[in-house]
């Protein structure tokens, strides 16, 4: 069954990046049915062009100038961007440059295409794409990667996905020298999902050096599995800077890396639900320009008062707190009330799994997850 994605392709050349299994190739086949496809994920095509990059230019000369060219797996052979640049300039051809890693692109002069190819991202499914087929409990347990969602045995597919990541993204691309150390690091990094990121603690628990942890974290970000959320630090000096928060792009991946199966345990739900809300916001930042910047907010280090997400658009802010409990508690409002005097704060929202919509006497909105998701899908979050 075809699922219409919230992603909308631009009309000029663009990079389409996203983690493995997120549905990029499927989308491109549907959205560009007449495109000329060069699939670098095919070993035959990859080795042929690796040995003789000139064959790529010869192939492009046979393509009509008004026909899109999809270059799938560009992260595997980024030197082809030189020819892409030339054909954009000389023949005004349009390209989709699709990949699951930004690592090699960053190291291969991707700025060569600055202004000639925009960057877009594709994410796991969002509830609005699945409609009535979306199930929150299943999303928390197995995630929303299309490759997993479409499988008959989602748990088994998630396990295979993590093994494929180690084999094809890490080992075959020679991203790390010590694969066992990286494999030991992964479940420790998964424990920091929706937590502030402390590289020293990860290094101690994974039994690797701090510089190694720093490089491993960069690999997870550049292969698009993880992202950081900075702290809101208006007018703070550099020495006062807070640690960023760390999120994985999908709850199913987090659980698979930790080898957790079955329904989430109570102690898992808070981080998994917060991470799902984070990924939903992030997707609509890319799909709908939801906000210009986002942060988390916290008071001084000795005080645990915090707000999970602070979105900025111009001079306006929206504060969002994610709570995994089933029944509203007034204690959920502590962080949002501490932030009430922030200049430009126009909305305070608590998101929880399901239940009635509520509003406190001081204007804090309590919204079930489906309502919040619909606000983002309909671009109705900002007043």
Flag the least confident range among 31-40, 78-87, 139-148, 278-287: 78-87
- pLDDT value at position 358? 97
Short-list 239, 262, 15, CA closest to 117? 15
**How open is the CA angle 49-50-52, to the nearest 5 degrees?**
60
**Both tokens assigned to 48:** 């042929």
Residue 350 has pLDDT above 80, yes or no: yes
What residues have CB less than 8 Å from 57, skipping those under 6 apart? Answer: 83, 86, 87
**How open is the CA angle 220-222-228, to the nearest 5 degrees?**
65
Residue 145 has pLDDT above 50, yes or no: yes
- pLDDT value at position 104? 73
Q: At what angle do helices 210-222 and 179-191 cross, to 10 degrees?
A: 80
CATH code that applies to domain 14-121: 3.40.50.300
Listed by start position, the domains of the chain span: 14-121, 127-232+245-271, 275-377
What H or E segment, with its residue span, contains residue 352? strand 345-352
* pLDDT classification of 301: cutoffs 50, 70, 90: low
Looking at residues 164-184, what average pLDDT do you find? Answer: 75
Does the domain formed by 275-377 have CATH 3.40.50.150? Answer: no
* pLDDT classification of 239: cutoffs 50, 70, 90: very low
Residue 58 has pLDDT above 80, yes or no: yes
Provide the pairing of β-strand 69-72 with 95-99.
parallel
Q: Characterize 149-186 residue by residue with b for buried, 16 or more Cβ atoms within 10 angstroms of its Cβ, and e for exposed.
A: bebeebbebbeebbeebeeebbeeeebbeeeebbbebb
Short-list 167, 175, 229, 161, CA closest to 22? 161
Say which residue the tokens 């704060």 belong to: 345
- pLDDT value at position 354? 96
- pLDDT value at position 35? 97
Quote the percentage of the chain above a pLDDT of 70: 93
Contacts 24+ apart (CB under 8 A), 48-56: 49/77, 49/80, 50/77, 53/77, 53/79, 53/80, 53/83, 56/80, 56/83
**Gyration radius from the chain CA atoms:** 22
Flag the least confident range among 129-133, 163-167, 235-239, 312-316: 235-239
- pLDDT value at position 233? 81
Residue 362 has pLDDT above 80, yes or no: yes
Distances (CA, A) of 359 to 36, 265, 324, 337: 53, 29, 18, 13
pLDDT tens for 92-102 read 999 999 998 88
Secondary structure (DSSP) of 151-183: SS-HHHHHHHHHHHIIIIIIITTT--S-HHHHH
* pLDDT classification of 112: cutoffs 50, 70, 90: low
Distance CA 311, CA 318 (A): 5
Residue 294 has pLDDT above 90, yes or no: yes
**Both tokens assigned to 187:** 């479940």
Contact 253, 143 (CB under 8 A): yes
Looking at residues 178-199, what average pLDDT do you find? Answer: 91
Looking at residues 115-141, what average pLDDT do you find? Answer: 93
* pLDDT classification of 237: cutoffs 50, 70, 90: very low
Looking at residues 38-51, what average pLDDT do you find? Answer: 95
User: What's the predicted TM-score (pTM) here?
Assistant: 0.93
Round the average pLDDT of the chain to a whole number and report it.
91
3-class secondary-structure state, position 40:
coil
């Amino acid at each position: 069954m075809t699922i219409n994605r919230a992603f909308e392709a631009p009309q000029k050349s663009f990079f389409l990046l996203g983690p493995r299994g997120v549905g990029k190739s499927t989308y491109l086949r549907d959205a560009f049915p007449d495109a000329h496809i060069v699939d670098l994920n095919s070993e035959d095509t990859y080795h042929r062009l690796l040995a003789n990059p000139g064959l790529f230019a010869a192939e492009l000369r046979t393509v009509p100038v008004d026909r899109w060219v999809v270059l799938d797996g560009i992260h595997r052979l980024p030197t082809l961007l030189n020819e892409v640049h030339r054909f954009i300039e000389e023949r005004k051809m349009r390209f989709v440059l699709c990949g699951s890693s930004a690592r090699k692109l960053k190291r291969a002069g991707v700025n060569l295409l600055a202004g000639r190819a925009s960057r877009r991202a594709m994410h796991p499914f969002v509830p609005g794409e699945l409609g009535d087929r979306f199930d929150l409990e299943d999303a928390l347990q197995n995630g929303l990667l299309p490759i997993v969602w479409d499988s008959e045995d989602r748990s088994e597919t998630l396990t295979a996905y993590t093994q494929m990541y180690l084999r094809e993204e890490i080992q075959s691309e020679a991203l790390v020298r010590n694969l066992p150390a990286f494999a030991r690091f992964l479940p420790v990094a998964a424990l920091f999902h929706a937590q502030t990121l402390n590289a020293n603690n990860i290094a101690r628990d994974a039994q690797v050096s701090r510089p190694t942890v720093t490089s491993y974290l960069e690999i997870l970000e550049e292969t698009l599995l993880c992202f950081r959320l900075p702290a809101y630090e208006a007018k703070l000096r550099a020495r006062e800077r807070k640690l960023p928060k760390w999120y994985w792009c999908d709850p199913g991946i987090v659980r698979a890396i930790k080898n957790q199966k079955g329904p989430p345990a109570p102690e898992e739900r808070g981080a998994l639900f917060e991470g799902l809300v984070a990924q939903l916001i992030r997707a609509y930042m890319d799909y709908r320009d939801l906000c210009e910047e986002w942060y988390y907010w916290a008071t001084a280090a000795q005080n645990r008062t915090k707000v999970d997400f602070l979105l900025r658009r111009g001079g306006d802010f929206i504060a969002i707190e994610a709570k995994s409990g089933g029944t509203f508690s007034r204690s959920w409002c502590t962080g949002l009330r501490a932030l009430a005097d922030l200049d430009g704060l126009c909305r305070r929202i608590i998101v929880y799994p399901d239940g009635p919509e509520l509003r406190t006497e001081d204007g804090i909105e309590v919204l079930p997850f489906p309502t919040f998701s619909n606000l983002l899908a309909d671009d109705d979050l900002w007043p």
